[in-house]
Each structure stands twice: as structure tokens, then as C-alpha cells.
Amino acid sequence: MKHIIVGGDGFVGRHLAHDLIAQGEEVVIGGLSQSDLEIYEKGRFIRADVTEPEQLAKLPIEADDVVYNLAARMLVPILPRAQRHEYFFSVNTRGTENLLALMEARDCGKFVYFTTDMVYGHTQTVPKYEDHPRVPLGPYGDSKYQSELLCEAYREKGMKISIFRPRLIIGPGRLGILQKLFRLIELNLPVPLIGDGSNPYQFISVFDCASAAARAAEKGVPNSAYNLGSVDPPSVRDLLKGLIDAAGSRSLLIPTPAGLVKGTLDLLDRIGTPLMDPEQYLIADERCIVDVSKADRELDWRPQHRDEDMLRAAYVEYRNQRSGSPASDAHQGVEAPRP
């Protein structure tokens, strides 16, 4: 049995590849760039773009293999509204369909797939269980929702598919929307909140995402969906205050009227100068908590990393990149920033 990781050159994919190789597993990495030489010296790399069926066909997928799909278009960069649908659907939906069709043709029936908690849309229950209504707020969440429907259709054909719905994935080496936050803190500038920051805003560590994917394979790839998130997330205010203090920054947190800020961000988005994607700011002041007990019960998986530690680790990596310092070992423990 081989582990075929499509998107294995990405943030979660690199960690998953590293973990599986460390366990002595045979790993084939399908991706767009060989950016981690240590991993690719031990695993086999094949260029594979999920939007190109001819490239995917080069993957040595066989009947007994486990295929992981971690190739995705994320909510960065922020694009004009007219471009968002094709940007996300080309990879997240049609790319997934291309991969599932290839697996079906090769009689391979074990698929581990990462979507997002943004398939849920607005919070209707706290916490959100896996049966929470799926009402995405934009093309990113919808592209992932439609790909989940594809997975459900292939389950009907006999394929075993584990779907993971992570909260915002953080850790060293992942910036995205956090880059703007880190820049404000680095420059000792005010950090505006959407609302008063009293709501918890749950994250999930990249290390925990990788371990969940590996655990699904160990358990035979259960035909189910699983939330991924941290346990006991702090409030937005406490989380950011802790980061500011640890970084030795003089930044202040500025509460704002959530409705007014969302209205302003929506106007900027409509006139073509977006500061943040609507799928992010529309839920920024909500109690966005996913329940992870199902993954605990069925996969024997529990998150091992705290939001506070991973956010600080991401900030350390950001500062290292800007200063030209060597990157920390992303597969080992990382120190929080010091004042």
C-alpha cells in the first residue's frame, strides 16, 4: 500500500508526508513544486496539477493505495468578486472530481479529503456538529460544499471517503490572512477587532491536521465527515492580547461596532477594493466553535496543540522570514516569541 498525497507540497501536505515517511510508509507526493528537499529525498515527487487530468494520470495510483487530496485554492489572495467562482471551483471542485474519476478508473477506493468548516456558513448551533446545516456564504465555501457532494456520490459507488472540515489552520509557515495582523503587531500599530473580541474563534494546528489524516488511514478510511478544531479556544481578545504581549509589541486592541465594520467591508468589496473576503468577516464576531468529539470517538484523535502556541509559532516564523533568519524546524516544537 502506498500513500498518494495530492497537494503534498502544500502546508498540511508537507507535514503529512513528513509524518508518514517517518513511520516508514511509502509516500508519493503529487504537487506543483519541490519546495522541501528533505521530504522529497525520502518520498517520490511527481508533478500533478488537479486541474490537468493528463498530469494526474501520471500518479501511480493502485487499488490498495490511500489517496489524500490536500490541493486547494484558499481565501488568499483576495480577488474581485467576478473572479472568485472560477478561481475556487477550478481546483476545489473540478480538481477533486478529476481525482475521484481517476481513482475510480484505477479501482482505488480509499480517499481522505480536506474541505473546510466554511461549508457551514453562519453559526446556527454552538458548537457545530457534523450534521450542522451546510449553507456556505460565498464561492470558497460553496466550492468545498460541492466537492463534498461529489464525495458523497462516489461513496454511493462503493468508495470509502473520510472528509475533514478544519477551522482556520495555523502553525509555523502559514501566514495568509494572519500576515496583515502580524504586520500591525510588528509595527506597534492598533489592531482593530470586528466587535468587542469576546467571542472565541477556534483554530486548528497544522500538526493536528496531519495526524488526523494519518489516523483516518490507520482506521481504514471511515465513510464519514469529521470536524477539526482546538479544544477550549480563548476569546479573540485574549488570544491577540497574548500574542501582542509575547511579541513585546505596543499594539492596542480596538473594539469596533461589528455591523458598521461589516457594512464598510462589504462596500469596499462591492466597489472592487476588498480588504478581507466576506466569508471571513461575516462570521468574525460569531461563536465559531466546531465539536471534535466524533473524531475522538471514531478515530481516536485529539488535538494536541493550543491556539495560543500555534499563533505565536506562526508569528515567530513571520519575523524570521522578514529578518532573513533560518526558519524553525516546522516538524519539531517551536518556541513562542519573547518580549
Q: Say what the pLDDT of residue 322 is.
A: 85
Q: Say what the pLDDT of residue 54 is.
A: 95
What's the grid cell of residue 125?
448551533
- Contacts of residue 26, defined as CB under 8 A and 6 or more positions apart, other chains included, come to 1, 2, 3
Q: Say what the pLDDT of residue 30 is.
A: 93
Question: Per-residue confidence at 123, pLDDT binned at 50, 70, 90?
Answer: very high
Mean pLDDT on 93-122: 98
- 103 SS3 class: helix
Instruction: Label residues 106-132 b or e (16+ Cβ within 10 Å = b).
Output: bebbbbbbbbbbbbbbebeeebbebeb
- Contacts of residue 81, defined as CB under 8 A and 6 or more positions apart, other chains included, come to 269, 270, 272
Contact 166, 204 (CB under 8 A): yes
Which stretches within 187-224 are classed as H helix?
A: 206-218
Mean pLDDT on 2-22: 93
pLDDT above 60 for 326: no
Mean pLDDT on 219-223: 98
pLDDT above 70 for 328: no
- Contacts of residue 80, defined as CB under 8 A and 6 or more positions apart, other chains included, come to 272, 274
- Contacts of residue 109, defined as CB under 8 A and 6 or more positions apart, other chains included, come to 63, 103, 158, 159, 160
Mean pLDDT on 84-90: 96
Q: Say what the pLDDT of residue 311 is.
A: 92
What's the grid cell of residue 253?
486592541
Question: Per-residue confidence at 212, pLDDT binned at 50, 70, 90?
Answer: very high
Instruction: Tell me the percentage of the chain whose pLDDT exceeds 70.
Output: 92
pLDDT above 60 for 150: yes
Of the listed ranges 121-125, 201-205, 285-289, 334-338, the least confidently predicted one is 334-338
- Beta bridge partners of residue 228, listed in sequence order: 166
Mean pLDDT on 283-299: 97
pLDDT above 90 for 78: no
Question: Per-residue confidence at 32, pLDDT binned at 50, 70, 90?
Answer: confident
Domains annotated on the chain, with CATH: 3-170+203-229+289-304 (3.40.50.720)
pLDDT above 90 for 145: yes
Q: Say what the pLDDT of residue 325 is.
A: 66
pLDDT above 90 for 201: no
Chain centroid, CA 231 distance in Å:
17
> What distances in angstroms separate CA 67 from CA 99, 206, 262, one per listed residue?
9, 19, 40
User: Taking each helix axis from N to C terminus, what angle separates 178-186 and 307-323, rounded to the nearest 10 degrees?
Assistant: 70
| Average pLDDT score over the chain | 91
CA distance 102 to 60: 11
What's the grid cell of residue 279?
466569508
What's the grid cell of residue 221?
478510511
Q: Say what the pLDDT of residue 176 is.
A: 72
Q: Say what the pLDDT of residue 331 is.
A: 40
